[in-house]
Structures are given as structure tokens and as C-alpha cells.
Amino acid sequence: MSPMVIHRFWLSPNVKQVLGSGDLGTLSAILKDKSPNDLADLMTDLAPSEQVTVWHHLPPKLVVDTFQYLVPSIQQRLLKAMTPEEAAGILNAMSPDDRTVLLQTLPTQTSQEVLTLLTPDERAVAVSLLEYPADSVGRLMTPDYISVRQNWSVQQVLDNIRTHGHDSETLNHVYVVDDNGTLIDDIRMRQFLLAGLTQRVSDLTDRQFVGLRATDSQEAAVAVFRREDRTALPVVDEKGKLVGIVTVDDVLDVAEESATEDIQKIGGTEALDEPYMEIALFQMVKKRAGWLVLLFLGEMLTATAMGFFEREIARAVVLALFIPLIISSGGNSGSQASTLVIRALALGEVTLRDWWKVIRRELLSGLALGSVLGSIGFLRITLWSAFSDIYGPHWLSVALTVALALVGVVLWGTLAGSMLPFILRRLGFDPATSSAPFVATLVDVTGLVIYFTIAAVILSGSLLS
Amino acid sequence: MSPMVIHRFWLSPNVKQVLGSGDLGTLSAILKDKSPNDLADLMTDLAPSEQVTVWHHLPPKLVVDTFQYLVPSIQQRLLKAMTPEEAAGILNAMSPDDRTVLLQTLPTQTSQEVLTLLTPDERAVAVSLLEYPADSVGRLMTPDYISVRQNWSVQQVLDNIRTHGHDSETLNHVYVVDDNGTLIDDIRMRQFLLAGLTQRVSDLTDRQFVGLRATDSQEAAVAVFRREDRTALPVVDEKGKLVGIVTVDDVLDVAEESATEDIQKIGGTEALDEPYMEIALFQMVKKRAGWLVLLFLGEMLTATAMGFFEREIARAVVLALFIPLIISSGGNSGSQASTLVIRALALGEVTLRDWWKVIRRELLSGLALGSVLGSIGFLRITLWSAFSDIYGPHWLSVALTVALALVGVVLWGTLAGSMLPFILRRLGFDPATSSAPFVATLVDVTGLVIYFTIAAVILSGSLLS
């Protein structure tokens, strides 16, 4: 009875069979009882041509809602399969915030053509939303909210909601504006329901409210929503004029998308911007190859660095055995540190001016972690040497070299990994660019230099003499 | 005038000065005009003893709201500084969902003591919420919602909201239940506002609704909210009885927290579970050391593997020069693949049964990426050899060895990285455990074997003869 998440899993194969059999009557019958988001989910799982077939058999009254739940790439495909009249009908009926999402993903040319399909009113709304910068709060806004004046009575407010409320995205708050449209308060709907009908709006205002600026970044909006525990917030322009509202369901999408971007960058790839299963293979390879090649070029410096130490390696091959162990320990500790700092910066737990506090914490952490690994490394070499002579007669010096190199490399990796996100943000880049592989590559080269320098000092009297 | 995000940045230093000067009159005056979440932010930035001082000077009517915005660790500190009466007052007034978050972080003993401070009614609510499994939807629920019966008139519904609505977390939806309390529909508030006052609730029901089960996982709830674009959803027990609602602001917190956990795991550390700047240094080092030591022990196998090839390295030191380059390329491509798959699994874009599709994509990606890096490596060695004899007389064989090893290692890294998250999920572990460093370590050992095996085959007639 209760239409839970499970639906998604049995819906699709069923329809796929019917589509295969070409029985379009049954198809319409199946589609008739579904909700718009079930229909959108279903279409997402289908092949492009099947999506168009299903589209043409949707119950007419669910067409607009279903369209709004689809991702832009499928929306574009369907738009191409529609007559201009059909497209105009859907685009005019879409809620302005969902329409903005679609319009901003279209090529400029197509976007202009689509705008001409809109009625003058809707076009004005659409154009004004598109004027806000990409990734700004303005692009998330809907102008469908309830605004009232201070001198209205509660009765007038309720009548107004009855007349205009059906367009509003949320009824939890009513916004109070003055004659210039400047936002002066937000009032919870429940206050109107609890108040006497003859009371004035001005009796309920306390002129305290939280708002967003249309030009604020979407990630700033996520932080405000997280802090305020609200389901919708009003948006004002530079002069404080109320221009729309943002609802938290769109903010949830933004939060999930920016977490996805950060995660992908931390993994050492460009953000895909499309679901993994939907992005074209060539596109994905391109986005991964960029960083991989860059890291490869950086890592080539390790070959150069090792070239300088070729003499030492030839004389003490045993040193070569520990190269992967030592450089990877630096890389691992560096990617731990950078990942923790990237996320803390993204959540606003840490700001740029905290760099000094972070460096102190990481200095201590790096020393502690380096000492732990160094001790294990030392033990391993001394224990093994008790039973075999794999590490040669100078095993104690080798053990000491490896242990000290580990302390140095882990400390250096930790410091570099924690500071890199700060430096990137300071320079105006995304801190998440200091991905685990990026930090690892950076630390690999310096790790080799640290290792061989320590080896030269400690082993100069014995193995390398 | 408009209290935007910026507040947070000038509030704290100001108060810190006043606290330093001990001028408690000024402190009260400053605190008087702040909103509860400003106050909570402010306290978060202060030292523990300062938090308690500020707490004792809060305006009485903001005490409960401010408390609800604080993180559990600070809430616990304040509770300890309160008299039982004070604590009882606050705990009884808290909204049930926020209270659950606090109670579940307390040690069992303390949690039991806190429960005794509650009134019998509130205690019953608190205990019932705590009975749901950790990380289940039940723990996010609040029992404050509006439920109505089918035979009520719209007038009755509105009167009911006027009487009971002040406790409800949202007014966007009203829930219709039958005599057994079973949820049979959700109706948008706007429908009541638009309907005639004498209409019956049954005239408005369509018996279509989306709900969550109290035992569903919180991450499943995030997926449903993302799909449904709703600000609140009803929660039912196994029998379909309405037991509460979940609002999207709590879901946003869950989404952000689980992204944080995934990001930290991908970076190769245990999830911190506390903000970076707040977790005790020793705790953080412990959480990082665990994985770092495990990876270090795994990476020790590289030393073992290289031990087997010591003879080859001694004879052809030039081979050692490319070790970091080759194994890191495998690690980087592996961490790309694992990160993409981890996130796709977390978002539900990919499910377990898609493993075969993923392996096909990654096979092609890995071949393409390996060929790109292999070509670059080949070019680099041949170009350098045109000008110097750093790579010796057999430079062409060396170039070929490195190029083929790169193709093999990148392909292997990509496949291992993409399949590991599937294997972990299949075994019941969190896919995010297949972190970038974990995959890199795994690939390092096998990468060495691939490299030296290819070298042995290609160079057996020349350098290694």
C-alpha cells in the first residue's frame, strides 16, 4: 500500500518487457497508476528510444510533473522529440527553479530558442533568473512565494493565500515586504493560524529574519541552511528587495553535488558532472586522463631524482628495496591530512585564518604518526636480520636510515598535505584539487630526496663509503 | 539589517574581548540581541570555560533554542554545569528529534540519568525514539505533526491546526490516518486553504503518498528526499501506523555527515565523527594511525617483492629509476576508479548488479589511460636517450619495458580500484573503505611484479642476460 522506495526496483523490468513486446495498450495501462517521480525513475533506466516511447504514452496530466523530475540530459532529448506547441506547454508550466536548471545546461543557441517558446511573463521570469551568475543562489530561486504587507489583516493574508497560494513552493513562511518590495520580516504560517483574524501583520512582525543574497554562492546557501534548520529561505537583491525563495530540497541537491565533486577531485579526477553510468565513455576517459597525465609528468621527477642517486643505489641495492615503502608512507599520510583539511574547509569548520592552528596540530600528528611507522620499520628490519642476512652486514645502519627517513617523510607528507588546500584556496583554486594522488606525487619526489640524504649521512662510513 | 551569514565573523572576537575584561553587564547586553543560532555559533568558537560563562548570561527565553543549535559535545558540557532543575527544564522543552541526537551520544549511564529528568510524557516519547536502531529513520523522527481523520470537515482541520499546530515542525502537509492510526494519505496544506470549509477530508484524499519506514536506514531516507523534492515525509512502523515525520533539514545534516565520512575514508583515515578542530589530538592521531599502520604493513610486501628482484636491480640499476613512476601510476588510476565507483554506489547511481557493466567500462578506460601514459613514458625515454646515455645502450628495450608495464599496471589499477568497492559492499563492508591509499597499496605490490616480469621477458636477451 505505501509506495516506498522499493517501487523503483520492480517497475523497470516489467515495463521493459512490455516495450519489447510492443503492446502499447498495456504500456499506457501500467503508466496510468504511477506517480511522476516513479515515472521519471523508470524513464531514467530505459534506452533513449524507449524513453521517447514512454513519454508519448504518459497520462497527459502527469506530463509536466514527470518532466520536472527528469535529469537535464533526458529533458533535452525529449524536447527534441516534441512539437514546438508541446514544448511550449511544458516549459510554461514548469516551476521557474527547475526550468532554470534545464535552461542553463542547454547550449546558448538552444536556450535562446527555448526562451522564445515561453509566454512574455514566463520569459521575463526565466531571463531574470538566468542573469544571476552560474552557481549563485539566484539560479536556485523560485519567484513563487507569498508576500504580504504590514498593514494587512490576518484575514486578508489568509484570503490572499487562498487566491495565490497554489503557486507557492512552501506555506511554512509568509514574507512581509514594504512599499518598495524590501523584505522586512518572515512570519511562520502557524502564527497566522493562531492569531485572531482582525490582527494586523504589523502586530506579528519582529523584523528579525535570515535571508540569502541572490549573488551568494550556492555552497554558502548550503551552510546557511545547515545552520538555520529551515525548509525555505527568502532571497534579496543588493538593495534588500525580496526577489524569490530557495527551498531546502534544491539545497540538498546542491550539497550532494558539491560533495560528489569534492570526492571525485580527491580521488584525483576532474569532476564528472554527470552520473557515472550516464556519462559517455570518451568523456569520462578525457576527464580522468587530464589529471593522470599531469600526475605522471610530475612523477617523472622521481626518475630524475633517482638518477642523481644511481651511484648510491648501485653500491647499496638494499636501499632500493625500501623505496616504495617509504614514498608511499609519505603519500598516505599526506592524503589523510589533505582530505581532512579539504572537508573541514568545505564545511566551514576551518577557515583560511586557522592555518596556523592546523599546522600546529599536523606538526604533532605528523611526528606521532612518523614515529609509529618508523618504529615498526626499524623493528621489521632488525627482526628479519636476526634470521637472515637479506639486509647485509650493515643492517643496523639500514634500519636506522629507514626509520629516520619514515619520520621525516611522514612529517613532511602530513605538513604538505594539510597546507596545500589552504594555499590552493588562498590562490583562488578549489582546495579539493589537492587530491590524494596530487599530494602523493608531490611527496614522492621530496620523499626520495629525504631518504637518500639521510642514507648518505648515516651510511657514508659503511655501506656507501 | 538583514542578518546574513557574515554575522558569524564579527560576533566572536567582540565577545571574546568582553569575556577577557570580565565586564558581565556588557556581555548580557551583547547577547540580548542575538538570534539562537548566532548564539550557538558564538559559543562554538569559545573555550569550554567561556562557553559556560556565556551560557549563564543568555536571555532566559533564548536558552532552549540556543541549546538545540549546539553540537552534542557542547550540550554535554553545559548539562554538567547545570542544576538538575535547569537541565530538566531544557530537556523537556527540546524538540524530540534534537533530543534524540543528544541522548544517543551520551554514555548509557548518563543517558539513563537524563531520562529520569523528563516528565512521564516526554520520557515515553524519548524512550520510544531511542528504541529504533542507530542510523535508522526512527532516530531522526519527531512526533510533532498534524494528523486528521477522513470524516473531518475542512473547518475542523483548520481549528485543529489552530489548537495543536504550534508544536508541528511543518505545516506543508497534513496526514490522514484511520481509526487504527494507519497512514492513508498526505494532503498538502494548500489544498485545505483552497477548499470550502464544509468539505470533508475524504473529498481531498487520493490515497497516494510517499512514506518512510522507521527502520529504514538514514541514507535510504536521503535518497528518497532527493528523489521526491519534499520538505517532510511521514514515517510509519511495520504495520503502516503513522509514528512521526522526518523533516529535510535533518536529512541535509545526514547527507553532509555521510559525505564527510565517505570523504575521510577515501582519504585513508577512519571517519573522525567530530569536527576537525574539535576532536582531541590524540583521538585524531589514533584514528589516522590505524589505517596508516595497516597500509604500512601491506606496503612492506613491496620490500619483499623487490627482494625477489634484487638480482635484476643489481644488474640493471636503470630499472630501479622507474619504480616510483610505474607503481604510482597504478595507484593513481586505481584511486580514480575506486573513488568514482564509491560515490556512484553511495548515490545509488550504480547498484551491486551493475558490476558487469562497470567492469566493461573500466576495462576500456584502463586500456585507454594505460596507452596514453605508456606512450608518454616511451617518448620520454627515447627522447632523453637521443641526447644523453643516462638509460644506457639498451634504452629502446628499457623504453618498451616501461611502456608495456605502464599499460599493464594502469589497466590492473583501474580494474582493481573499480571492483574493490563492489567486493567490499558484497561482503557487508562500507565501499568507501576501499580508499585511495588502500587501492594504491594493493596495486603497488602487484605493480612491481608486473614491471619486473615484463622486464625479465623483454630484457632477458640484453640487459638481464
User: What's the mean pLDDT in A112-122?
Assistant: 86
Contact status of B373 with chain A (Cβ, < 8 Å) = yes
**How does residue B105 score in pLDDT terms, banded at 50, 70 and 90?**
confident
Which pLDDT value is given to residue A165? 67
Q: CB of A401 within 8 Å of any CB in chain B?
A: no
Chain B residue at shortest CA distance from A222: B252
Confidence of residue A3 (pLDDT cuts 50, 70, 90): very low
Nearest CA in chain B to A40: B227
Which chain B residues have a beta carbon less than 8 Å from that of A259?
255-256, 259, 262-263
Q: So what's the pLDDT on residue B189?
A: 80
Q: What is the pLDDT of residue B441?
A: 87
B441 touches chain A (CB under 8 A): yes
Is the pLDDT confidence value at A10 over 60?
A: no
Q: Quick one: pLDDT at residue A35?
A: 82
* Predicted confidence (pLDDT) per residue in B247-266, tens digit: 888 888 888 888 888 888 88
Nearest-neighbour CA in chain A from B40: distance (Å): 10
Of the ranges A135-144, B375-384, B427-436, which is most confident? B375-384
More confident residue, A195 or A359: A359
B377 has pLDDT over 90: yes
A124 in reach of chain B (CB within 8 A): no
Q: What pLDDT, on a 0 to 100 scale, did the predictor assign at position A246? A: 92
B167 to chain A, any CB pair closer than 8 A? The answer is no
Contacts of B321 in chain A (CB under 8 A): 303, 306-307, 310
The predicted structure's pLDDT at residue A465: 63
Tens of pLDDT, residue by residue over B402-452, are 999 999 999 999 999 999 999 998 998 888 887 888 888 888 889 999 999
Q: Is the pTM of this model over 0.80?
A: no
CB contact under 8 A, B340 and A223: no
pLDDT at A258 over 80: yes
The predicted-structure confidence for A140-172, as pLDDT tens digits, reads as follows 888 888 889 999 998 888 888 877 766 677 777
Residue B2 confidence (pLDDT): 37
| A213 vs B: CB within 8 A | yes
Task: Give the mean pLDDT of A370-392.
Answer: 88
pLDDT above 80: residue B122: yes
State yes or no: pLDDT of A9 exceeds 70. Answer: no
Out of A320-334, A427-441, B119-133, give the one with best mean pLDDT: A320-334
* Res B76 pLDDT > 80: yes
What share of chain A in percent tops pLDDT 90? 21
pLDDT reading at A1 higher than 50: no
Q: Inform me whether the C-beta atom of residue A448 falls under 8 Å from chain B C-beta atoms.
A: yes
pLDDT of the residue at A11? 45
**A217-226 mean pLDDT:** 87
Nearest CA in chain B to A365: B285
| Alpha-carbon distances of B379 from B315, B324, B337, B376, B385, rounded to whole Å | 24, 18, 26, 5, 10
Q: What is the mean pLDDT of chain A?
A: 85
pLDDT reported for residue A5 = 35
Confidence of residue A377 (pLDDT cuts 50, 70, 90): very high
B166 — pLDDT class (breaks 50, 70, 90): low
Q: How sure is the predictor about B13, in pLDDT bands with cuts at 50, 70 and 90?
A: low
Higher pLDDT, B362 or B192: B362
The answer on pLDDT for B8 being more than 50 is no
Task: Give the per-residue pLDDT at A6.
Answer: 33
- Mean pLDDT confidence for A42-53: 84
pLDDT digits (tens, 9 = 90+) for B307-325: 888 888 888 888 888 999 9
pLDDT over threshold 90, residue A190: no
Indicate the pLDDT class of residue A28, thresholds 50, 70 and 90.
confident
pLDDT digits (tens, 9 = 90+) for B24-42: 888 888 888 788 888 888 8
Residue B201 has pLDDT above 60, yes or no: yes
pLDDT at B387 over 90: no
Query: With pLDDT > 70 as the criterion, what percentage of chain A qualifies?
Result: 96
The domains found in chain A, sorted by start residue, are 7-131 (1.25.60.10), 147-247 (3.10.580.10), 281-459 (1.10.357.20)
pLDDT grade for A192, boundaries at 50, 70 and 90: confident
